[in-house]
Amino acid sequence: MRSGRALAAVVSFVLVLCGPAFAGEPKQGGVLRMYHRDSPGSASIHEEATYSTNVPFMPVFNNLVIYKQDVAQNSPDTIVPDLAESWSWSADKKTLTFRLRQGVKWHDGKPFTSADVKCTFDIVMGKSQQKFRKNPRKSWYDEVVNVTTNGDHEASFNLKRPQPSLLALLASGYTPIYPCHISPAEMRTHPIGTGPFKFVEFKANESIKLTRNPDYWKKGRPYLDGIEFTIIPNRSTAILAFVAGKFDMTFPTEVSIPLLKDVKAQAPDAICVVAPNNVSTNIIVNSKDPPFDNADIRRAMALALDRKSFISIMFEGQADIGGTMLPAPEGLWAMPKEMLEQIAGYGPDVNANREEGRKLMQKAGYGPEKHLAVKVSTRNIPVYRDPAVILIDQLKSIYIDGELEVVDTAQWFPKVARRDYSLGLNLTGNAVDDPDQSFYENYSCNSERNYTNYCNKEIEKLFDAQSMETDVGKRKKLVWDIDKKLQEDVARPIIFHGRTGTCWQPYVKGVTVMVNSSYNGYRYEDVWLDK
Amino acid sequence: MFAYVVRRLGLMLVTLFGISIVIFFLLRIVPGNIVDILFDAAGFVDPADKANLERELGIDQPLVVQYLRWIGGLLHGDLGYSYVSEKPALDEILPRIPITARLAGLALLFSASIGIPLGVISAVYQGSRTDYALRVVSLSGLSLPSFWLGLLILMASVAMFGHIPIFNPNPRTFGEMFSTYCLPSLAVAFRSSALTMRITRSSMLEVLRQDYIRTARAKGASEASVNFHHALKNAILPVITVVGIEAAFLIGGLIVTETVFNIPGVARFLVEAIRWRDYPIVQNLVMFIAVIVVFANFTVDMLYAVFDPRIRYTD
């Protein structure tokens, strides 16, 4: 009898020990409930330029290749096959060929073939009869001559010149493969993909519903029966609803640092992760018109910045100082700290920097008796407005009196695109942590998004040189030099790189928050509920 | 009376026609249109793409042509398509109307059923502690913004019950129904009932000083009969006017309440549509609201005659 009790005790002990291990096995079933921060413009990822669309609709699709969804840092080493089984570069590095997965079906039952790959990129490159309403990432594929197919299961990208980062662009959440047989208009309202979840409905300003794709080509995935997004634009209501347990997860990277404290206080069991979102807050200066056509005034302005103050006021210390590329360790391409601190305005002695700035302003004819009055334009939302107010305060230290000009969202981008501003505060997001996307888009002479009119033909050559460089070590050094030069030229002074939080209830498993992009990690096929 | 009603209906049509012109042109004066917004964050924009989209949506046409198309469609029951969702505007607007109508109806009901009796009590007990307490309540109702009150209700509900009463499209129990509609309505009605209470009080105070009230009391009528039968009946006209005006202004209060309680009603939808410059949605919705306001005013005028037999509408 005694031995029987002892045996029972041992078995119970072993079961208790093994309990967590059993709990760690993914479970099938359940619907993930998440709030959404706003109503996306449409369901078509290719036509939108916000992750408000990626988050709910990335689970509907597959890419050719994808960043590994359970690794937080996107890098060339974490790119894995998706609809492609494998890929290879030609010897001259000008052709990238994908061998495609066989037996994959679209959600409407039609087979996926290489024609769909060609169709997708023909529309994106503007070479198709079918057109997107808007095509924000057409310029990503400027170096691609065409996409050709070889049978149903092979597609090749033919390039004008080597561009190793093409693979990174194809792995982004912004690059799903669309079906040939569905029009762009239908994709905006009822998307058909090959992904782990099928689209059910999208009620603007209300909800988005996805259901499990039982025929998903990756066996055993997804674990969830579905995902439901409730659209709650009011952030206070959304956070309260999460705290009350109405949602399993917050909208990714949408919880600000001050709000995170509230969440942890009211829902201590919630798991929260703070990570960089690869969005930089920066100053745009219209360098073609007075007074900022004067390089000394631009330099003085860069010297007036106290970046640590911005970070302590807005992020309670949890943000990063860097150049154009996302700072390390999360960012792959950031210049070393010692190199960064050599740049004017990045040195630790803010008072000395400002003294130098005041001398430059005096050289330009301004001083304690004669201040320079400028309008500081920014978009009328808090993430833009708040740092603009701090900027105005800091500019006073170099005799610049800034007046805040808040601009309605509908007018902000058209206004800066027209260069109808003198000094502005802007946010720049990067879909992939790769220099090609950032440099060409924001600093190239011919780019429409080069809002500051910065144009340096020598730098432009370096953009191409780094873009073609296949040796990662050599490319990094080129990127650092370019980034340093951009900061020295005050092309678009970077104030800080923000960090934000994502929270989920403890029973939600398999969530990975990506640390160097907020656009690529929303496939949700590995997420499960331990209920 | 019949001729008066017909003339009023004719005037209502003229008013609505004027409103349609104001709505249409004011909307076009606001800087930016849907094409600007759609392309705002899209990086490089080919001007041909913008022109194509403007042509597709018909906003490249002269304003007069656009206006005539809208009015022509409206008269035939064709409200056009939402620029954003690309669905018929009617399909977008119709499902949201009952939600907001329920909220607005309940808010008006709460406003009248709380405001009028408390206003009478406050007037009857003028200068007493009850009167002072009720005046404090009414002043706080007028001072508290409804969005703040809404947030307080949400926070209190989470803190006390661990439940958040945001919108539930399919309430199954009375509790769910209560939290879905009654709590947001109360948040809106608080301000409105405070106003009703104050108007009722001042109107009642005036009437209670009249000779016929003294006569009624001298004839031995009970206090309840004096206050509610003789006094309130005669004091109600200004209250009806205020309730009518409040009905018109309710949509403003509902915008914030629908946002705070995450209710997918007409008011929040209107704000979103304005943000996107979704002209077909905005102009049809504002027109719909204008119709409601015009009819509310008409109803109030007709109610005057019901409550005060001395008022007779003639040519």
Is residue A127 less than 8 Å (CB to CB) from chain B? no
What is the number of residues in chain B?
Answer: 315
pTM, two decimal places = 0.86
8-state DSSP, A183: -
pLDDT given for residue B3 in this prediction: 81
Is residue A130 less than 8 Å (CB to CB) from chain B? no
Is the pLDDT at B41 greater than 70, yes or no?
A: no
pLDDT given for residue A446 in this prediction: 79
Chain A residue with minimum CA distance to B83: A41
Tell which A residues from 256 to 295 touch B, by Cβ distance under 8 Å.
266
Closest residue to B38, CB basis, from A133, A189, A244: A133
Is the pLDDT at A3 greater than 50, yes or no?
A: no
CA distance B183 to A266: 23
> Comparing C-alpha atoms, which of A249, A227, A228 is closest to residue A238?
A249
State mean pLDDT over A29-53.
92
Chain B residue with minimum CA distance to A429: B41
What is the number of residues in chain A?
Answer: 531
Q: CA separation (Å) from A42 to A200, A331, B38, B277?
A: 14, 30, 10, 15
Distance from CA of A242 to the nearest CA of B (A): 9
Is residue A406 less than 8 Å (CB to CB) from chain B? no
Q: CA separation (Å) from A530 to A28, A241, A264, B66?
A: 9, 20, 21, 56
Q: A133: which chain B residues are within 8 Å (Cβ-Cβ)? A: 38, 49, 53
State mean pLDDT over A286-291.
88
> Comparing C-alpha atoms, which of B37, B18, B27 is closest to residue B66?
B27
Is residue A414 less than 8 Å (CB to CB) from chain B? yes
Is residue A185 less than 8 Å (CB to CB) from chain B? yes
Is the pLDDT at A80 greater than 80, yes or no?
A: yes
Q: Tell if the CB–CB gap between B37 and A409 is shorter than 8 Å.
A: yes
Q: Calculate the average pLDDT of chain A.
A: 92
Place of tokens 């009605």: B189
Q: Is B262 left (phi over 0), alpha (psi -120 to 50) or beta?
A: left
Of A313 and A21, the one with more pLDDT: A313
Distance from CA of B30 to the nearest CA of A (A): 10
Closest residue to B262, CB basis, from A185, A234, A414: A234
Closest residue to A410, CB basis, from B37, B82, B268: B37
Q: A39: which chain B residues are within 8 Å (Cβ-Cβ)? A: 272
Residue range A210-251, pLDDT digits in tens: 999 999 999 999 999 999 999 998 888 999 999 999 999 999
Q: B38: which chain A residues are within 8 Å (Cβ-Cβ)? A: 41, 133-134
Chain A residue with minimum CA distance to B276: A410
Mutate to test the interface with A, among B34, B56, B85 (most CBs of A within 10 A): B85
State mean pLDDT over B78-105.
91
CA distance A262 to A145: 52
Place of tokens 């607007």: B93
List alpha helices for A396-471, DSSP H: 409-417, 435-443, 457-468
CA distance A327 to A282: 14
Confidence of residue A448 (pLDDT cuts 50, 70, 90): confident
Is the pLDDT at B52 greater than 90, yes or no?
A: no
Is the pLDDT at A76 greater than 80, yes or no?
A: yes
Q: CA separation (Å) from B176 to A143, B47, B170, B180, B222?
A: 57, 51, 9, 6, 42
pLDDT given for residue A251 in this prediction: 96
Residue B252 tokens, joined: 């403003």
Is residue B133 less than 8 Å (CB to CB) from chain A? no
CA distance A200 to A192: 10
Judge contact between A413 and B41, C-beta under 8 A: yes
Q: A50: which chain B residues are within 8 Å (Cβ-Cβ)? A: 41
Which residues, in sequence order, are CB contacts of B224 under 8 Å at separation 6+?
none
Is the pLDDT at A2 greater than 70, yes or no?
A: no
Amino acid at A237: T
Chain B residue with minimum CA distance to A206: B264
Q: Tell if the CB–CB gap between A233 and B259 is shorter than 8 Å.
A: yes
Distance from CA of A498 to the nearest CA of B (A): 19
Which residues, in sequence order, are CB contacts of B206 under 8 Å at separation 6+?
B235
Residue range B208-258, pLDDT digits in tens: 999 999 999 899 989 889 988 889 888 888 898 888 888 877 877 788 889
Chain B residue with minimum CA distance to A133: B53
8-state DSSP, A178: P
Is residue B213 less than 8 Å (CB to CB) from chain A? no
Q: Would you tell me how many other CB atoms lie within 10 Å of the CB of residue B13?
A: 10
Is the pLDDT at A135 greater than 90, yes or no?
A: no
* Window from A409-418, A440-449, B85-94, B223-232 with minimum mean pLDDT: A409-418
Of A483 and B38, the one with more pLDDT: A483
Is the pLDDT at A268 greater than 90, yes or no?
A: yes
Judge contact between B110 and B193, C-beta under 8 A: yes
Is residue A189 less than 8 Å (CB to CB) from chain B? yes
- Which ipTM score applies to this complex? 0.80
Of B214 and B307, the one with more pLDDT: B214
Tell which B residues from 3 to 32 touch A, by Cβ distance under 8 Å.
31-32
Distance from CA of A131 to the nearest CA of B (A): 9
Is residue A445 less than 8 Å (CB to CB) from chain B? no
Q: Calculate the average pLDDT of chain B.
A: 88
Order of all β-strands in the sheet with A197-203: A31-36, A226-231, A207-212, A197-203
Is residue B52 less than 8 Å (CB to CB) from chain A? yes
Is the pLDDT at A282 greater than 80, yes or no?
A: yes
Q: CA separation (Å) from B296 to A113, A366, B267?
A: 61, 62, 18
Displacement of CA A132 from its chain's centroid (Å): 22
Is residue B155 less than 8 Å (CB to CB) from chain A? yes
* Terminal Cα-to-Cα distance of chain B (whole angstroms): 7
Place of tokens 């909208």: A251
Chain B residue with minimum CA distance to A267: B162
CA distance A62 to A179: 11
Confidence of residue A516 (pLDDT cuts 50, 70, 90): very high
CA dihedral sign, ordered B276, B279, B280, B283: positive
State mean pLDDT over B97-118.
92
Q: Tell if the CB–CB gap between A409 and B38 is shorter than 8 Å.
A: no
Give percent of chain A above pLDDT 90. Answer: 81
- Collapsing DSSP to helix, strand or coil, A180 comes out as coil
CA distance A222 to A201: 19
CA distance A291 to A298: 9
Which residues, in sequence order, are CB contacts of A237 under 8 Å at separation 6+?
B151, B154, B164, B166, B259, B260, B261, B262
> Comparing C-alpha atoms, which of A61, A206, A409 is closest to residue B38?
A409
Q: CA separation (Å) from A28 to A216, A250, A435, A527?
A: 14, 21, 40, 10
Residue B246 tokens, joined: 């409040």
Concatenated DSSP letters for B166-211?
---SS--SHHHHIIIIIHHHHHHHHHHHHHHHHHHHHHHHHHHTSH
Amino acid at A512: T
Judge contact between A53 and A60, C-beta under 8 A: no
* Window from A21-30, A64-73, A168-177, B282-291 with minimum mean pLDDT: A21-30
Judge contact between A272 and A501, C-beta under 8 A: yes
Q: B32: which chain A residues are within 8 Å (Cβ-Cβ)? A: 408, 410-411, 414
CA distance B236 to B242: 10
Mutate to test the interface with A, among B28, B36, B45 (most CBs of A within 10 A): B45
> Comparing C-alpha atoms, which of A456, A451, A490 is closest to residue A296?
A490
CA distance B89 to B97: 13
Amino acid at A521: G
Judge contact between A466 and A435, C-beta under 8 A: yes
8-state DSSP, A389: H
Chain A residue with minimum CA distance to B270: A205
Concatenated DSSP letters for chain B?
-HHHHHHHHHHHHHHHHHHHHHHHHHHHHSS--HHHHHHTTSSS--HHHHHHHHHHHTTTS-HHHHHHHHHHHHHTT---B-TTT-SBHHHHHGGGHHHHHHHHHHHHHHHHHHHHHHHHHHHHTTTSHHHHHHHHHHHHHHHS-HHHHHHHHHHHHHHHHS------SS--SHHHHIIIIIHHHHHHHHHHHHHHHHHHHHHHHHHHTSHHHHHHHHTT--HHIIIIIIIIHHHHHHHHHHHHHHHHHHHHHHHHHHHHTT--SHHHHHHHHHHTT-HHHHHHHHHHHHHHHHHHHHHHHHHHHHH-TT-----
> Comparing C-alpha atoms, which of A307, A489, A285 is closest to residue A387?
A307
Closest residue to A412, CB basis, from B39, B40, B163: B40
Distance from CA of B150 to the nearest CA of A (A): 10
Is the pLDDT at A13 greater than 50, yes or no?
A: no
Concatenated DSSP letters for A318-371?
-SB--SSSPPTTT-SSPPPHHHHTTSTT-SS-HHHHHHHHHHHHHHTT--SSSP
Judge contact between A154 and A88, C-beta under 8 A: no
Is residue A313 less than 8 Å (CB to CB) from chain B? no
Count of CB pairs separated by less than 8 Å, A with B: 115
State mean pLDDT over B69-87.
91
Q: Tell if the CB–CB gap between A237 and B261 is shorter than 8 Å.
A: yes
CA distance A62 to A172: 11
Distance from CA of A446 to the nearest CA of B (A): 10
